Structure 1
Amino acid sequence: MYHIVLLCYDGSPDGREVLCEGAEIAKRFGATTHLLAIAPIIAGNEALPASQESLDTNFSDFEKVLQEGVASLRAAGVEATGHIAEGRPIEVIADHARRLGVDLIVLGHRHQSRLARWWRGSVGSSMVDLAPCSILVAVDRHGPKPGSKAR
């Protein structure tokens, strides 16, 4: 059913749920597994352009996140190929899924207020329009519930 899966990981607790569920799916179906970490674009402006040092630090942080994710999958018995990219998550995920011939994208879910969801949008709901394949949204069923202040 799923031959190639793409797990989207950012190092957050929600991202760790992606690793857990993604590892289960990969093992169950014997799927080729790809792990994607996305570094957001750091944009400067005319008055204060982004320095090369801040760009390098940002990318380096996400390389560490990616290595942590690949190591976690390996410890769970899943070999994964790591990818790091920079850009808008929705577009980067859809592009990687197309290029890799992915059957399933696994995303995490972060609870947001209605205002935040309206203002920034939801990666999950936007992915439905762009994804070339099925999407699984991994939810931390054991963590704090929406509206709680524990996060």
Structure 2
Amino acid sequence: MFSDILVAYDGTDGGQGLLDEAIELASTYRSKVRLVAVAHLQPGEMIAEAAYPVGLIAVHEDEMKKALAVAAAAFEQHGCHVETHLLIDNNPAAAIRDLALQMGADLIVLGHRRRGPFSRLWNGSVGLALLANPPCSVLVAMSTLPEQALHKAGSVARKTEEVSQDRH
């Protein structure tokens, strides 16, 4: 069903849910995985880089290389064949779409994190742009970060309460 999966990964902490779902799919269908990260500058960074060039894209590129290596290792631990691709493009959605077309992907897996309307307007949404004209099926994996943060906050609150009770 899904013999060739393109996994779009941005290296953020919220991307763990994306990796978990993609690994499960790739393992189930014994799919070839193409793990892609797109190094790009946010609008504010473009303005700053134009005014005072310090090589921000090179910094992003290095961060993405490290994130891809860690993610690729996770796939390999589950017996998945994985290729990594690092693209440099200020239009991540178009770069991902083009790679999916070029490789003949059956499925694109990408992450989603909840952001406010201003952030979405300022930074854009790769997911929305891909869904507007998808080259194949698209799976959007929700970030588990908010639930993890709530769970951690609850654990901290319980421990604080236990310590407080022990002192009395």
Normalised-by-shorter TM-score class: 0.7 to 0.9
RMSD: 2.1
CA distance in 2: counterparts of 1:81 and 1:94, whole angstroms: 17
Q: Does residue 139 of the first structure (1) align with residue 142 of the second (2)?
A: yes
- Report the secondary structure of 1:105's partner residue: strand
Alignment correspondent of 2:81: 79
Code of the aligned partner of 1:29: Y
CA distance in 2: counterparts of 1:19 and 1:119, whole angstroms: 26
Larger Rg belongs to: 2
Code of the aligned partner of 2:85: H
Alignment partner of 1:112 out of 96, 112, 115: 115
Matches within 5 A, 1:1-150: 1-41=1-41, 43=46, 44-45=49-50, 47-48=51-52, 50-51=53-54, 53-87=55-89, 88-140=91-143, 142-144=144-146
The alpha-carbon deviation at position 54 of structure 1 amounts to: 4.1
Stretches of structure 2 lacking an aligned partner (at least 5 in a row): 153-168
TM-score by length of 2: 0.76
CA distance in 1: counterparts of 2:96 and 2:15, whole angstroms: 14
Instruction: Tell me the number of residue pairs that the alignment of Structure 1 and Structure 2 aligns.
Output: 143
Instruction: Show CA shifts across 1:113-143 (max 9, x none).
Output: 1232234332212111232101000113x54
Stretches of structure 1 lacking an aligned partner (at least 5 in a row): none
The alpha-carbon deviation at position 103 of structure 1 amounts to: 0.7
